[in-house]
Amino acid sequence: MAAYFETRKQTWQLAVLRLWDRPVLRTIEQFERFSSTVGTALPFELRNYQHYGDLPRELDLSMLARRWDKLGYDLLAPVFKHCLRMYDIDMNLCQALHSDQFERLFADNPHIGKSLGYLNISETFFSATSIVSVLNMLPELRYLLVSETETDDSVLETISQSLPNLISLQIGRCELVSDVGIKALADGCPDLKCFTAKECWGILDTELVDKINAGNGWEDLDDPQDYDSHDHSNSEDNEDEGEDDANDFILEYLEEFSMASNLPGFHVQRNR
C-alpha cells in the first residue's frame, strides 16, 4: 500500500508541475479557486517549491470569460502576492480593474518586476499616469502590448528611458500618441525589433516612422505574431493539437488522487 501511494504521489508531483506552469483559466469560478489556492503550502516536497504560488510562470487571462466586468482587484491580489516567478501576464480586456488598483498590484508586490518579461494590458481603461508608474517598476520587460489604451507620449517616453531590454511593442489605436513619443522611442529603444502602431492617427510624420523602422530594424507588422514571439516555458515539450486532451487526462487523474488522498486538487483547469 505504501509503494502504491508513493507511486501516485510521484505522478501528482509531475502533473502539478505541468498544470501550474501555465494554468488554463476560462471561467471566473475557475479563477476564484485558483486565487484561493495559490497561497496554500504544497502537500509534498517538490524541488525547492514551498507553495502552489511558486509554480506558475504565466498568467494568461485572454480566454477568461467575463474578465471585463467580473475580474477585480480582490481576486487578482492573492495571485500577484503569492506567485513569485511570474514571467508572462496577459491582462487584455480586464476592464473591471481601476487605475489605482492596477498600480497597487505591482507596487505591493515588487517581486513581479524582478521576473516579468511580457505584459499585455491592451483594451483596458488604465490611465497614462498609472501605466507610466507600473512600467517604471518593470525593468526586465521585453514584450509590451498597450493597444487601445490611454497610452500617450509620456508612456512612450517612459518606455524609452526605463525599459532597456524591450524588443517588442504594440501600440495600435492609441490616439493620444504623437510624433513626440515616436521620436523618443527612436532615440531610446535601439534594440526594438517588432513595433506596431496601426491606426495611431496622432502620428503625422510618416517619414519619421519609415526612418526609424529602417534605422532600428523595426518591423511595422500587421500581426505581431509574425515576429518570433516570446517563449519562456520551462517545459521542453512543444504544444500540439493533443495537448488539451492530455491535460484533461492528467487533470482527471490528479483530481481523483487529490480527493482520495485529501489533498488540494487542481480541477480549475479542466476544459469543457
Please say whether the beta carbons of 1 and 261 come within 8 A: no
pLDDT given at position 8: 61
Reported as a single tens digit per residue, the pLDDT across 112-121 is: 999 999 999 9
Reported as a single tens digit per residue, the pLDDT across 136-146 is: 999 999 999 99
pLDDT given at position 130: 98
pLDDT given at position 13: 73
Q: For residues 146 and 173, what is the distance between their CA atoms, to the nearest angstrom? A: 9
In a domain, 91, yes or no: no
Pairing between β-strand 58-60 and β-strand 88-90 as defined by DSSP bridges:
parallel
**Weakest mean pLDDT among 17-26, 199-208, 261-270:** 261-270
pLDDT grade for 17, boundaries at 50, 70 and 90 = confident
In a domain, 207, yes or no: yes
pLDDT grade for 176, boundaries at 50, 70 and 90 = very high
Reported as a single tens digit per residue, the pLDDT across 216-234 is: 555 544 444 444 445 544 4
In a domain, 218, yes or no: yes
Instruction: Reply yes or no on whether the pLDDT at 195 is more than 90.
Output: no
Q: For residues 181 and 160, what is the distance between their CA atoms, to the nearest angstrom? A: 9
In a domain, 176, yes or no: yes
Higher pLDDT, 214 or 173: 173
In a domain, 178, yes or no: yes
pLDDT given at position 109: 98
- Give, in order, the Cα–Cα distances in Å from 182 to each of 161, 186, 187, 205, 210: 13, 6, 9, 9, 11
In a domain, 27, yes or no: no
pLDDT grade for 96, boundaries at 50, 70 and 90 = very high
Which CATH number is 142's domain given? 3.80.10.10
Q: How is the beta sheet containing 58-60 ordered, strand by strand?
A: 58-60, 88-90, 118-120, 143-145, 168-170, 194-196
Query: What rounded mean pLDDT belongs to the chain?
Result: 81
In a domain, 4, yes or no: no
Place of cell 501576464: 89
pLDDT given at position 235: 40
Burial-class residue 135 by CB neighbours within 10 Å (0-12, 13-18, 19+).
Answer: buried
Structural domain total, the chain = 1
**Which residues constitute the domain of residue 153?**
118-229
In a domain, 45, yes or no: no
260 Rama sector, left if φ>0, alpha if ψ -120 to 50, beta otherwise = alpha
| Percent of the chain surpassing pLDDT 90 | 58
Reported as a single tens digit per residue, the pLDDT across 46-88 is: 889 999 999 999 999 999 999 999 999 999 999 999 999 999 9
Neighbouring-strand partners of residue 41: 51
